[in-house]
Structure 1
């Protein structure tokens, strides 16, 4: 009997000395961006599909899609809505105004540049403090991991940065390096479209600007090989190709090393870079990246090849 009691006491002592299980929390270190990126309680946007977003997302993030701010015409899906004030009103409802710090989360190289496209859209509307990062950024601003309440901002009128985009008519003019013949594209027509002057790029007249223009195709090499602007006899401007993924690191931060590749393609900071992709998403991401890297004369042809055709 004594032996049995002794064995029971020893077993209880062993159990009491065992290490207690570690409590697992949802808080993680920042992955995909410097820790300071989340400082200042930024508005967090997540551009992934709703299904992916609902499976898992950073607490307080707001799910948006680039299509939410673009036209419905299948031939010009990448062109922003005509009513930019309507977009700014929607942004105000999710807590964004021109002074906001915004972090846009996406899938990085596994996506199609959607986070960069949203960043470009915000820049167009005058929101300048915008950053991109991977959706795996998971440091919660609330230690409990609760969803933060969205605080509305007062309605604001966007100060549109028109230098960030170029319409189909002007893109064609600079791509072909000719002012004639030109026709307006899209639903809006003008009785004297042929008489409308081509807008100057960055304060330069047409002849001076066209000598500085270079077209940058940011689709994948396979897409570029099937069809690109060099196959059109009327295109006179030089065309270069670099895939959009090369402008971002594995953590979805800006890739500063891309400047060497750009220079090898003849793209320097004094050039006017007209960026093109299929429908303005990947090219929007690259235009955002180029501007952040100091290529201040970069523009997104948001209509892309869809509108060019």
Structure 2
């Protein structure tokens, strides 16, 4: 009897060793130095699709989409909404004002530049302390896992940085080197802030500016090969292709290494860089990156090829 009981106990012990309980660990995915990125309790925006956001997200993050701030015209989806005050009011309701620190999380190279597009949008509206990162980068920054309440900010008036964008009429004028039939009146105010006629770019007259302009196409090589502005006979401005992903590191921060490649292609900081993609998302991300790198004469053609057509 003792022998049978002993055998049973040994068998149970063996089974217990083979069926240890599963240990579930939370995803951290920390890249770089996220502890500095999250200093100062920033507002965290997550630009991934709602389904992915709802499956898993950084505690306290707010889900936004680049389309939330863009026009509804199917022929120019990348152009920002005319009512910039409405966008500023919406941002105030999620705790963002011009002095806020904002960290924008996305999928990096697996996405389509959405986080950079939102960063560009915020900078257009006057929010300057903006950073991009992978959505996994901040998962360990809130070990308690609690969801902080969103604190509204007072309504604020956007101080629009018109130097960050160029409208369709002016893009075509500088691309083709033809001022006519545009009437460059030099007006600085308009109800439609994204459709302003301007007399010059970065303080230069038309003839001076057009000699410094280069078009940077940030789509993939395959897209560029199918169709690009250099194939249009009326386009006189040089066209250079560098894919948008090269402007960001693996951790989705702005990459300084791309400067050498830009210089090798004749793009220096004294150039006026008109950035284009299909509908202003990837080009918005690259414009944000270029400005961070010191290329202060960079503009996003938010309408993109979609509006060019």
TM bracket, shorter-chain basis = 0.7 to 0.9
Give runs of aligned pairs for residues 34-45 of structure 1, distance below 5 A: 34-45=34-45
Q: Is structure 2 residue 235 aligned with structure 1 residue 235?
A: yes
Whether the 8 Å CA contact 1:32–1:253 is kept in 2: the answer is no
Structure 2: tracts of 5 or more residues without a match: 12-19, 185-195
Label 1:136 to 1:211 Cα distance change in 2 as closer, same or farther (>3 A).
same
Cα RMSD (Å) of the superposition? 2.7
Tell me the secondary structure at the aligned position of residue 200 of structure 1.
coil
CA distance in 1 between partners of 2:251 and 2:307 (Å): 32
Q: What's the offset of the Cα at 1:307?
A: 0.6
Label 1:227 to 1:151 Cα distance change in 2 as closer, same or farther (>3 A).
same
Label 1:5 to 1:229 Cα distance change in 2 as closer, same or farther (>3 A).
closer
Tell me the secondary structure at the aligned position of residue 219 of structure 1.
coil
Q: Which residue of 1 aligns with 2:28?
A: 28
Give runs of aligned pairs for residues 121-270 of structure 1, distance below 5 A: 121-182=121-182, 198-270=198-270
Moved over 4 A (4+): 1-11, 20-25
CA distance in 1 between partners of 2:109 and 2:279 (Å): 18
Q: What's the offset of the Cα at 1:71?
A: 0.1
Q: What's the offset of the Cα at 1:146?
A: 1.8
Which deviations, in whole Å up to 9, do the C-alpha atoms of 1:160-217 show, x marking residues without a partner? 1000000001101100011113499xxxxxxxxxxx9643111111111111100000
Label 1:4 to 1:130 Cα distance change in 2 as closer, same or farther (>3 A).
same
Q: Which residue of 2 aligns with 1:81?
A: 81
Which deviations, in whole Å up to 9, do the C-alpha atoms of 1:108-147 show, x marking residues without a partner? 1111000000000001011111111111124354432122
CA distance in 1 between partners of 2:84 and 2:59 (Å): 28
Whether the 8 Å CA contact 2:34–2:138 is kept in 1: the answer is no
Q: What's the offset of the Cα at 1:7?
A: 10
Label 1:97 to 1:198 Cα distance change in 2 as closer, same or farther (>3 A).
closer
CA distance in 1 between partners of 2:27 and 2:41 (Å): 16
CA distance in 2 between partners of 1:137 and 1:105 (Å): 8
Instruction: Report the number of matched residues.
Output: 298
Q: TM-score if structure 1 supplies the norm length?
A: 0.87
Q: TM-score if structure 2 supplies the norm length?
A: 0.87
Structure 1: tracts of 5 or more residues without a match: 12-19, 185-195
Q: What's the offset of the Cα at 1:278?
A: 0.2
Label 1:10 to 1:239 Cα distance change in 2 as closer, same or farther (>3 A).
closer
Label 1:55 to 1:27 Cα distance change in 2 as closer, same or farther (>3 A).
closer
Q: Is structure 2 residue 290 aligned with structure 1 residue 282?
A: no
Whether the 8 Å CA contact 1:170–1:199 is kept in 2: the answer is no
Label 1:56 to 1:183 Cα distance change in 2 as closer, same or farther (>3 A).
farther
CA distance in 2 between partners of 1:105 and 1:35 (Å): 15
Label 1:8 to 1:286 Cα distance change in 2 as closer, same or farther (>3 A).
same
CA distance in 2 between partners of 1:32 and 1:289 (Å): 18
